[in-house]
Amino acid sequence: MPSKTHQRTRSDHASEVAEDYVEAIADAIAQRGVCRAVDLVNQFAVTHATVNNTIGRLQRDGLVQTEPYQPIELTAKGKRLATQSRKRHEIVEAFLRRLGVSEQTAAADTEGIEHHVSKETLAAMKRVLTKGWPE
């Protein structure tokens, strides 16, 4: 039987794509007022088929709404997930920058860490950012 650590890692991996996509959709809508499949193709450097399959899963899970050849919209559930993902992303990246990690490396590392950081660790990172290092 797998350990709880490995179970959590597998669960984190399962939600990574959904979190990345809803965050990208929210960003596209904020920047351009609309998100189309081609925006995600370009963002993630994947095929239209990959984006269509992923959007289908997100729609099945109640995170997005769309019709063929129409823009992709976030549902209320999708907006909540996008907001949570964005906040987690910002905290992790700011923490890495506080450690002295370069902007480019912090941006790249955040893409992986943000999906696996526990609530406890995220809260500790946030405390360091707001109150400084513990004595």
Predicted pLDDT of residue 68: 87
| 17 & 68 share domain | yes
Higher pLDDT pick, 77 / 16 = 77
Strands (E), the chain: 64-65, 73-74
Give the closest residue to 121 by CA, choosing from 84, 88, 90, 99: 88
Tally the domains of the chain. 2
Give the closest residue to 41 by CA, choosing from 29, 30, 54: 54
What pTM was computed for the model? 0.82
| 111 & 45 share domain | no
| Residue 131 burial (C-beta neighbours within 10 Å; 0-12, 13-18, 19+) | exposed
Predicted pLDDT of residue 125: 96
| 30 & 47 share domain | yes
> For residue 65, what are the β-bridge partners?
73
- Determine contact, residues 96/110, Cβ cutoff 8 Å: yes
- Determine contact, residues 43/36, Cβ cutoff 8 Å: no
The percentage of residues in the chain with a pLDDT greater than 90, rounded to a whole number, is 82
| 40 & 59 share domain | yes
Full residue range of the structural domain in which residue 30 is found = 4-79
Residue 93: pLDDT over 80:
yes
